[in-house]
Amino acid sequence: MQEVTASALLTNKVGLHARPSVKLTQLAKRFVSRVEVATSAAGPWTDAKSPVKIMRVKASQGEVLHFKACGEDASAAITALVDIVARKFDEE
Amino acid sequence: MERRLSGLAASTGLAFGPAVMFRAVGEMRREKGPVASERQALADAISASLEAVAALAESLNGEAADIVGFQVALLDDDALTEAAYAAIEGGAAADTAWRQAMVDEIAGYEASDDPYFRARAADIADIRDRVLRQLFDLPELTSAPPGAIILAQDLPPSAFLGIDWSRGGGIVLGAGSPTSHVAMLARGRSVPMVVGIGSEWEAISGTVVVDGVAGLVLTGASHESIERARRQANDLGRLREQAEARKSQPAVTRDGTPIAVMINVADLDDVAGLPPEACDGIGLTRTEFLVEQTLRDEMAQFEAYAGLLRWAAGRPVTIRTLDAGGDKPIAGYTLDGETNPFLGLRGIRLSLRHPDIFRVQLRALARAAAIGPLKIMLPMVTTAQELEQARALLDAVLVDLAAEDMPHAVPALGIMVEVPAAAMAIASFDAAFFSIGSNDLTQYATAAARDGLAVAAYSDVLHPGVLAMISHVARHGAETGREVSLCGDAGGDPHAIEALLRAGIRVVSVSPGLLAIAKDAIRDVDLSVPDEAA
């Protein structure tokens, strides 16, 4: 199975805070692939479908989010996740 | 037997209804059963909590829905519960296992440098208590009868949001403070609330009267007392309606003295639905939230000020420059770790130390002044030198704007009077206008913190010493032809208005929600008769 990776700069003011975390995980759950997120390309990797785990990452504005997906819709998942970060989670 | 308990009024109005206790889960402990039953008990409590929160989220909208929606997402995530289930397998009782798991989760949030993440610890505590209430079979407030009086030591915001307030009701808290989040929610929904009555709330039952005007709670109320409360509540409701009906008419005292009533705002959202002719302009614009988000973004600030001037349609708009510090920290701008931030670097003191950021705001203000009568108000001014330094910065900005051919105008430059030393030495300030910040002036003059529950009674604008300062400033303004206004909470308080007018105040600025009530209170004052209180 092919693994797809990409990264995006977190530019929204509050970072990966409550609402953005919920939006990110809801989006990730739409895909069957395993989707993970990290604030460093070397990991540690976190399940992007778990709001509890994402909140533990505490990613703030200015950090780079790295995404990794593995599964049949991995590319689509990565495209969508990078896009929602670039859109500042439609919040600003 | 009828008993009166006195506390602090946190949200005005009168309510009476059946007492409903909201007990904190505190130190309650569960009898431990076999592992399988503990596991089942936690699973049941979590699924019942999830169901309740999801239903609550459905019924809300806006920010409240987001807060609760976040709790739904967390409760629905196995990652939240796995540590608790592991502890149960290891022999812990369901409540102990759950509590410990949440202690660890909360510690993770509280360890963050980022205030946004730290604040979310309150959501985890809310989730923790909700599940514990299920484990201990404590009733949820959502099942409280309509019009109930909620009694508690303290009340989490989610509990407030879960109650149907459309058919009345009130709140009595043993602890709490008038400045708490839940008190703000109560004022927003016009739910009468009294806080700080002490441990007595635990003994209250039956019908309770909450007097959010006087800060009183009446228990074991007689039939007559309840009837009286009913009449007062009706009268208050009628007065409010009457006041609303003549909101757009000018405020003139009985003896014919016109009083200008302006409004305090932060942005255009605050004036939504308010016709500009209902007020005499904007007496205070708080820019902390705006500037925190746009520290160096002149264009964004200009747009915000321009929007207010366009709304005011020719009426004066007073904009206070950044008043950070005190209880309004801005990361990377205000000083960390001050032992007493209210007596530290705040307001103009900070602005003069950050001229690069101050300059951005002054440029945006001078540009917006081309659109309408804009007035700049400097907060926390203590010495005349601060006013002159700010004026020099403003003058330099005006020279730059002229050189750039950028449309602009010269705004009036005034100061806020909230430092007692400045109030007493008012003649040393060559300001275009003075605006008395009565909240801070009162807390500084009475040496009683605004948010300190135990000293709240001292922090009284009607203290003769505070009124003397106000009257000193008003007299100086009248003698020198400079406008003196008052823009603290007292300006919208019907109990304080007469004393303020007698002290010489002829312009007040109040929050838009108090505009109608303040105008009606002014219409009741007769300055031609001698002061009864004097």
ipTM for this prediction: 0.88
Q: Which CATH code fits A3-90?
A: 3.30.1340.10
Q: Are the Cβ atoms of B109 and A21 closer than 8 angstroms?
A: no
Better-predicted residue by pLDDT, B351 or A6? B351
Backbone angles phi, psi at B190, to 5 degrees: 55, 45
CB B359 within 8 A of CB B393: yes
Judge whether residue B404 has pLDDT over 90.
yes
Which residues are within 8 A (CB) of B381 and not within 5 positions of it... i.e. 6 or more apart? B347, B348, B387, B415, B416, B417, B419, B422, B429
Closest CA to B440 of B327, B317, B281, B336: B327
Q: Which of B21-30, B371-380, B489-498 has the lowest average pLDDT?
A: B21-30
> Which of B70, B79, B112 lies nearest to residue A58, judging by beta carbons?
B112
Which of B21-30, B293-302, B434-443 is modeled with the greatest confidence?
A: B434-443
Q: Are the Cβ atoms of A18 and B70 closer than 8 angstroms?
A: yes
Q: Give me the pLDDT at residue B232, please.
A: 83
Residues of A labelled as active-site residues: 17
The Cβ-side half-sphere exposure at B73, using a 13 Å CA radius, reads: 27
- Mode of pairing for the β-strands spanning B251-252 and B216-219: unpaired
Question: B412 - beta bridge partners?
Answer: B375
Rounded Cα gap, residues B94 and B505, in angstroms:
62
The continuous run of DSSP H or E covering B423 comes out as helix B420-424
Confidence of residue B395 (pLDDT cuts 50, 70, 90): very high
Among B117, B124, B293, pick the best mutation site for testing chain A contact (most A Cβ within 10 A): B117
Q: Give me the pLDDT at residue B507, please.
A: 98
CB B259 within 8 A of CB B508: yes
Q: Which of B22-31, B202-211, B507-516 has the lowest average pLDDT?
A: B22-31
A15 touches chain B (CB under 8 A): yes
Better-predicted residue by pLDDT, B189 or B368? B368
A25 touches chain B (CB under 8 A): yes
Q: Which of A13-22, B112-121, B250-259 has the lowest average pLDDT?
A: B112-121
| Helix ranges restricted to H, B313-415 | 348-353, 355-368, 384-403
Q: Are the Cβ atoms of A55 and B69 closer than 8 angstroms?
A: no
Q: Give me the pLDDT at residue B67, please.
A: 78
Instruction: Give A34 to chain B, closest Cα distance, Å.
Output: 16
Confidence of residue B109 (pLDDT cuts 50, 70, 90): confident
Q: Are the Cβ atoms of A55 and B109 closer than 8 angstroms?
A: yes
Rounded Cα gap, residues B248 and B280, in angstroms:
10
- Please enumerate, as own/partner, the contacts of B32-38 that have beta carbons within 8 Å and a separation of 24 or more: B32/B92, B32/B93, B32/B94, B32/B96, B35/B88, B35/B89, B35/B91, B38/B88, B38/B92, B38/B93, B38/B94, B38/B97
> Which of B69, B73, B116 lies nearest to residue A14, judging by beta carbons?
B116
Q: Give me the pLDDT at residue B385, please.
A: 98
Q: Give me the pLDDT at residue B242, please.
A: 84
Q: Give me the pLDDT at residue B457, please.
A: 78
Question: B414 - beta bridge partners?
Answer: B377
pLDDT digit string (tens) for B433-480?
A: 999 999 899 999 999 886 666 777 788 899 999 999 999 999 999 999
Better-predicted residue by pLDDT, B359 or B515? B359
Rounded Cα gap, residues B267 and B292, in angstroms:
14
Longest Cα separation, chain B? 83
CB B72 within 8 A of CB A18: no
Q: Are the Cβ atoms of B116 and A55 closer than 8 angstroms?
A: no
CB B287 within 8 A of CB B328: no
Better-predicted residue by pLDDT, B248 or B142? B248
Q: Which of A51-55, A62-66, B154-158, B261-265 has the lowest average pLDDT?
A: B154-158
Mean pLDDT of the residues in chain B: 89
- Percent pLDDT > 90 in chain B is 52
Measured from the Cβ of residue B296, the count of other Cβ atoms closer than 10 Å reads: 12
Tokens of B300: 């964004």
Model's pTM, two decimal places?
0.63
Which residues are within 8 A (CB) of B232 and not within 5 positions of it... i.e. 6 or more apart? B14
Domains of chain A, by residue range, sit at: 3-90
Chain B positions touching chain A (beta carbons under 8 Å): 66-67, 69-70, 73-74, 77-80, 105, 108-109, 112, 114, 116-117, 120, 123, 293
Better-predicted residue by pLDDT, B281 or B4? B281
Residues 69-88 of A with CB under 8 A from B: none
Q: Give me the pLDDT at residue B451, please.
A: 61
Q: Give me the pLDDT at residue B180, please.
A: 66
Judge whether residue B388 has pLDDT over 80.
yes
CB B156 within 8 A of CB B122: yes
Among B68, B109, B114, pick the best mutation site for testing chain A contact (most A Cβ within 10 A): B114
Q: Which domains does chain B possess?
A: 3-23+143-240 (3.50.30.10), 35-135 (1.10.274.10), 249-523 (3.20.20.60)
A29 touches chain B (CB under 8 A): no
Rounded Cα gap, residues B172 and B191, in angstroms:
11
Judge whether residue B427 has pLDDT over 80.
yes
